[in-house]
Amino acid sequence: MFSARLINHSDTLMLNICDADLLGRTLKRDNFTLKISEKCYAEKVVDKEEAKDLLRRSNNINMVGKEIISLSANIGIGSQEGVKEIDGVPFLLVFKM
């Protein structure tokens, strides 16, 4: 299961999505902090099939977690080369042109 928030702004669809078990965590590395807040990631809980649909439809994607990044890479969105880690948790930003 994944936690997702979809934002539609000026003909651009932005998706914030994370592995559901990461919701509420704050990740830190040096001077960088990533808060996986309900405000940004918790509009709804989605299963694997709905997550695939959201990933395909979105123009900009902010994803956090091993499961969602693996799912995204398996359907050809993003790549493992772009993955960064904070506190051992992977995150990936994708901008489609």
pLDDT at 32: 87
pLDDT tens digits, one per residue of 63-92: 999 999 999 999 999 988 999 999 999 999
**Which CATH number does 2-95 carry?**
3.30.1860.10
The SS3 assignment for 91 reads strand
DSSP string, 24-35: T-EEEETTEEEE
Query: What pLDDT was estimated at residue 82?
Result: 92
For 23, the 3-state DSSP assignment is coil
The secondary structure of residue 6, as a DSSP letter, is: E
**pLDDT > 80? residue 97:** no
pLDDT-above-70 percentage for the chain: 100
The pLDDT assigned to 80 comes to: 85
Q: What is the pTM of this model?
A: 0.93
